[in-house]
């Protein structure tokens, strides 16, 4: 058993790129689900269009990095409008169904042979993060304490990522304190009452969907920038589901809930995965092969999610009265 590797990869995960990517996705979900009560099950779609928007603009159209980011953001806004217009006036189930369907459809389009020239098929697109790392102020080398070190590229990505994440938290904090945020929370509690007060509920919901999608799409950018590539199958329903698990774990409708949730989630996820792999490799679990560690790890997340929702739906920091899961 290589306990040191297990320990260092676990600590890496707590502040690493996974936490940044999924933390941002979860902040978006928190705006949708935690504050507004919208069940957007297609957060992965926002991340996918952002990642691909950046990748395709830079690699296929040969345009600068910042235009790529702008294209990604615009794509997320358009996607939110497309999904929101038919569903936001209907009951919650319909938004859930359409968003989960849209996310699958977008994945299918990105991996299709038909559009291989644009999106690169199932191999995706790579080679679009050069400009981002060209801005890196850190000289090359290794930074860290003891066994926990990052190279200069990862450190640069994490610096930017955590700054964006904290800015997103600040934005959520300020917005939710404002009158606009109070209307969102009121919609979560009782939509009809808000409508009776003369507010345009549809417009507020749409603004929330767009905002959460835009915050989430930064997760897609950072995914692409860290891995240097975007592949369609990364943006499956599991990604959205992880974001939901993180939000509920940390506590819905809490500013720092998603951030703390993401850290805890990835620590547990990486730790369990490493532990199982090591146990299997050393023959402690004879009935499993190393390929089977992947699915069992996901299955455990599913189980943990169910137990969390049944036993403690408010998560670690949440308030039970602020969870939009018992409405109607």
Residues that bind other proteins (CB under 8 A): 39, 41, 85-87, 90-94, 96-98, 100-102, 104-105, 108-109, 112-114, 122, 237-238, 241, 244-245, 290-292, 295-296, 298-299, 301-303, 305-306, 309-310, 313, 324-328
The least distance separating other proteins from the CB of residue 134, rounded to whole angstroms, comes to 25
In whole angstroms, the minimum distance from the beta carbon of 309 to other proteins comes to 5
Q: CB of 308: closest distance to other proteins in angstroms? A: 8
Integer Cα distance of 73 and 172 in angstroms: 18
CA distance 247 to 85: 25
Cross-strand partners of 125: 230
Minimal distance, residue 260 CB to other proteins, in Å: 20
Q: What minimum distance in Å lies between the beta carbon of 326 and other proteins? A: 4
Strand partners, 142: 151
Q: Which is nearer to other proteins, 96 or 148 (CB)?
A: 96
Q: Are strands 229-230 and 142-145 parallel, antiparallel or unpaired?
A: unpaired
CA distances from 26 to 79, 191, 314, 318 (A): 18, 24, 15, 14
Q: For other proteins, which is the closer residue by CB, 177 or 189?
A: 189
Nearer of residues 1 and 85 to other proteins, judged by Cβ:
85
Give the pair of three-digit tokens for residue 193: 């009452």
Detail the DSSP E strand segments found in the chain.
125-126, 142-145, 148-151, 229-230
Nearer to other proteins, 4 or 310 (CB): 310
Q: 11 or 95: whose CB is closer to other proteins?
A: 95
- C-alpha 73/C-alpha 51 separation (Å) is 10
31 and 211 Cβ atoms separated by less than 8 Å: yes
Smallest gap from Cβ 33 to other proteins, in A, equals 9
Query: Please, what is the Cα angle at 306 between 304 and 307, to 5 degrees?
Result: 65
CB 143, CB 150: distance < 8 Å: yes
Of 114 and 140, the one with the shorter C-beta distance to other proteins is 114
Label residue 130 exposed, middle or buried (CB < 10 Å: 0-12, 13-18, 19+).
exposed
Q: Which is nearer to other proteins, 146 or 295 (CB)?
A: 295
Tell me whether residue 135 or residue 321 sits nearer to other proteins (CB atom): 321
273 token code pair: 């995965």
CB of 165 to other proteins, least distance (A): 24
Those residues with Cβ within 8 angstroms of residue 315's Cβ, 6 or more apart along the chain or in another chain: 247, 248, 249, 250, 251, 252, 254, 257, 261, 308
CB of 216 to other proteins, least distance (A): 17
């Amino acid at each position: 058993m290589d306990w040191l590797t297990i320990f260092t990869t676990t600590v890496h995960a707590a502040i690493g790129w996974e936490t940044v990517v999924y933390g941002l996705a979860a902040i978006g979900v928190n705006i949708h689900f935690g504050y507004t009560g919208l069940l957007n099950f297609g957060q992965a779609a926002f991340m996918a269009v952002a990642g691909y928007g950046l990748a395709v603009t830079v690699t296929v159209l040969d345009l600068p990095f910042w235009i790529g980011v702008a294209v990604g953001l615009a794509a997320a806004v358009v996607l939110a409008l497309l999904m929101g217009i038919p569903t936001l006036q209907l009951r919650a189930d319909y938004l859930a169904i359409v968003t989960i369907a849209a996310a699958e459809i977008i994945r299918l389009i990105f991996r299709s042979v038909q559009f291989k020239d644009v999106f690169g098929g199932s191999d995706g697109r790579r080679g679009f993060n050069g400009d981002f790392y060209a801005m890196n102020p850190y000289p090359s080398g290794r930074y860290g304490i003891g066994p926990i070190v990052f190279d200069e590229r990862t450190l640069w990505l994490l610096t930017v990522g955590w700054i964006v994440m904290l800015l997103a938290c600040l934005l959520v904090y300020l917005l939710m304190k404002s009158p606009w945020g109070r209307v969102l929370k009121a919609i979560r509690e009782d939509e009809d009452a808000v409508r009776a007060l003369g507010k345009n509920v549809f417009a507020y919901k749409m603004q929330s969907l767009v905002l959460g999608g835009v915050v989430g799409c930064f997760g897609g950018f950072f995914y692409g920038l860290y891995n240097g590539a975007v592949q369609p199958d990364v943006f499956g329903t599991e990604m959205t589901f992880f974001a939901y698990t993180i939000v509920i774990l940390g506590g819905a409708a809490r500013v720092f809930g998603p951030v703390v949730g993401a850290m805890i989630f990835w620590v547990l996820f990486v730790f369990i995965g490493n532990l199982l792999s090591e146990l299997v490799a050393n023959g402690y679990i004879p009935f499993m092969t190393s390929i089977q560690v992947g699915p069992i790890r996901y299955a455990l997340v599913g189980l943990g999610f169910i137990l969390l929702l049944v036993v403690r739906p408010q998560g670690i920091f949440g308030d039970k009265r602020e969870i939009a899961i018992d409405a109607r």
